[in-house]
Amino acid sequence: MKVATAREMRNIDRLAAEKYGVTGMELMERAGMAVFEEARRMLEERRGSRAVIVCGRGNNGGDGFVVARLLARSGYQPRVFLAGRADALKGDAAANYKRAVTAGVPIQEVEDVPPHLPPCDIVVDALLGTGLQSDVEGLFAELVRLMNEHPAPVLSVDIPSGLDSDAGVPRGACVRADATVTLGLPKVGMVVFPGVEYVGRLLVADIGIPSPLLEGKDPEQPLNLNLVTPEMVRDWLPPLEATTHKGARGTVLVVAGSIGFTGAAVLTSEGALRAGAGLVFLACPKSLNPIYEVKLTEVITRPVPEPDVAGCFGPESVDTLLQEVSRADALAVGPGLSTAQPASDMLAAFLPKVQVPTVLDADGLNILAARPEITLPPECVLTPHPGEMGRLMGMAAKEVQESRIRIAREAAYRFERIVVLKGGATVVAEPAGEAYINPTGNSGMATGGTGDVLTGAIAALMARGMAPIKAAVAGVYLHGLAGDLVAEELGREGMAAGDLLLKLPLAFRRVRGV
């Protein structure tokens, strides 16, 4: 599903009218109908009939007038509070105001802040939309406060009032909705943090915008940002044939771990297994092999020569690693590798000779940041967290977090590889600029080792034949869903990376719908 900026959405609305003949009144009526349907569902759930609709003077308010009229005609008891005077309304909003009045909807013009909103069963937020240009202050801020303080659930029209539709940050006062019906397409600010926390349950309404515009196929308005959906992932996953065998399900080679960081290699290997790889081989410094022989029962270990620094990869490891990777369908490298000089020299000699799809993570990325001249495999997915991305791009992690989509795209362009910028609303970016925002996952996953599980999962999907971009997007989605399944069962506090492993197969099952 495509995601739009405010400018892109305005252009889509304009093209819908000018090029495809869909009028603004038609769009507003369908938008109001979509919100009405959700409002009615919420009212029936609460066995209530009273609705307060807080309207602004723009098109968002016009949508609210449509909702109020439809509620009144269906036997509910809507009451509208209009921020300002009705004679300031224009165009489609003014027309729908008159239709609401004709339908008998009581509308109160608000110029002074009321002490409270009246008792009701649902509050509909139709105050401010995606055209917000400045911070919310004065009367509008007070109306936002009253909606937030009201005990009834709040349903926002298109976007919570006060939320920046591009940056996803509150512009002064901001509604915290229980649900939001967004119109046509999700807006960027609704699917990134902290905006996600203001949106509540997100519903995307079809309001009759022609499909070429919604799919980004109209050359006058291309769209290159996507929200990952379970349907997208399901369509991309390789089929599981009844007659398949372990060789047909792909072989992953994991190159990871060092003394003190053997757990990273274990989690990466088991992540690959739980994401469906037929065979997983773990290449490890030979002195660490006894640990893995005991810990890993389904993973085949491949001890490799190590330098004088025990428990570490080194240049001595390269020949054996090249032999092992020649038999693999995908490579996962970096977790727990260490950035010691021998490991760095190994990676610099090894990676340029790798020809299989590769996931580079953790210390592999830190080595790349220190030695950007290293040649990466042709098909390579980089999976940095914000700190690692900062080192790769020469900036602070805070700067990365402030512009996650832009930085992910810039990194993908610079390295000419797919980039997975981990964190809340993980971003997957391609060198050409196409990017994907992931909606799964939760704060409980902010613990050591979860990234290692993801590295193994993406490698497994590539080993199973998925293109790197599809493997990265699907791997991130399934990994986050596994975390959500853990949170459902155990809660977010105390979640450990290993908890995700047994939930990965369940995440696949849920996405496949079996």
Same domain, 217 and 278: no
Task: Look at residue 1 and tell me if it is in a domain.
Answer: no
pLDDT at 263 (0 to 100) = 98
Predicted confidence at residue 309, as pLDDT, reads: 84
CATH code, domain with 487: 3.40.1190.20
Model confidence at 190, pLDDT cuts 50, 70, 90, reads very high
Residue 447 domain-assigned (yes or no): yes
Residue 153 located in a structural domain: yes
Q: What H or E segment, with its residue span, contains residue 13?
A: helix 6-18
Q: Which distant-in-sequence residues (6+ apart) come within 8 Å of 390 by Cβ?
A: 396, 397, 399, 400
| Range 9-18 average pLDDT | 97
194 and 263 share a domain? Answer: no
| Tens-place pLDDT, residues 476-493 | 999 999 999 999 999 999
Q: Are residues 269 and 418 in the same domain?
A: yes
Residue for token digits 């993801």? 454
Contact 192, 405 (CB under 8 A): yes
Mean pLDDT of the chain: 97
State how far the Cα of 154 lies from the Cα of 175, in Å rounded to an integer. 8
Contacts of 334 (CB under 8 A, 6+ apart): 255, 256, 359, 360, 361, 362, 363, 364, 365, 455
Separation CA 400–CA 408 (nearest Å): 8
268 & 211 share domain: no
Answer with the one of 182, 198, 223 that is the final residue of a domain: 223
Task: Specify whether 72 is located in the same domain as 159.
Answer: yes
User: Do 180 and 40 fall into the same domain?
Assistant: yes
- Asked if residue 240 has pLDDT above 90, the reply is no
Taking 90 as the threshold, does the pLDDT of residue 105 lie above it?
Answer: yes
**CB-based contact 162:171 (threshold 8 Å):** yes
35-80 residue pLDDT tens: 999 999 999 999 999 999 999 999 999 999 999 999 999 999 999 9
Tokens 């940095």 belong to residue: 384
CA atoms of 40 and 43, how far apart (whole Å):
5
pLDDT of residue 7: 96
The size of the chain, in residues, is: 514
Tally of domains within the chain: 2
- Do 186 and 112 fall within a single domain? yes
Specify burial of residue 467 (Cβ count, 10 A radius: 0-12, 13-18, 19+): middle
Same domain, 360 and 479: yes
Q: Which of 160, 195, 223 is the last residue of a domain?
A: 223
pLDDT of residue 114: 84
Angle, helices 341-350/318-325, rounded to nearest 10 degrees: 40
In terms of domains, do 143 and 247 share one?
no
Amino acid 138: pLDDT: 95
Determine what percent of the chain is predicted with pLDDT higher than 70.
100
395-423 as b/e: b if 16+ CB within 10 A: eeeeebbeebbebbbbbbeebebbbbbbb
Residue 244 pLDDT level (bands cut at 50, 70, 90): confident
- The answer to whether residues 71 and 212 belong to one domain is yes
Residue 153 near residue 31, CB atoms below 8 Å: no
Q: Tell me which residue range forms the domain holding 201.
A: 6-223
Write the Ramachandran bin of 309: left for phi over 0, alpha for psi from -120 to 50, otherwise beta.
beta
Domain containing residue 194: CATH number: 3.40.50.10260
pLDDT confidence of residue 170: 97
* Domain end point (choices 169, 203, 223): 223
Residues 201 and 272 placed together within one structural domain of the fold = no
Q: Is residue 239 included in any domain, yes or no? A: yes
Q: 83 and 189, same structural domain?
A: yes
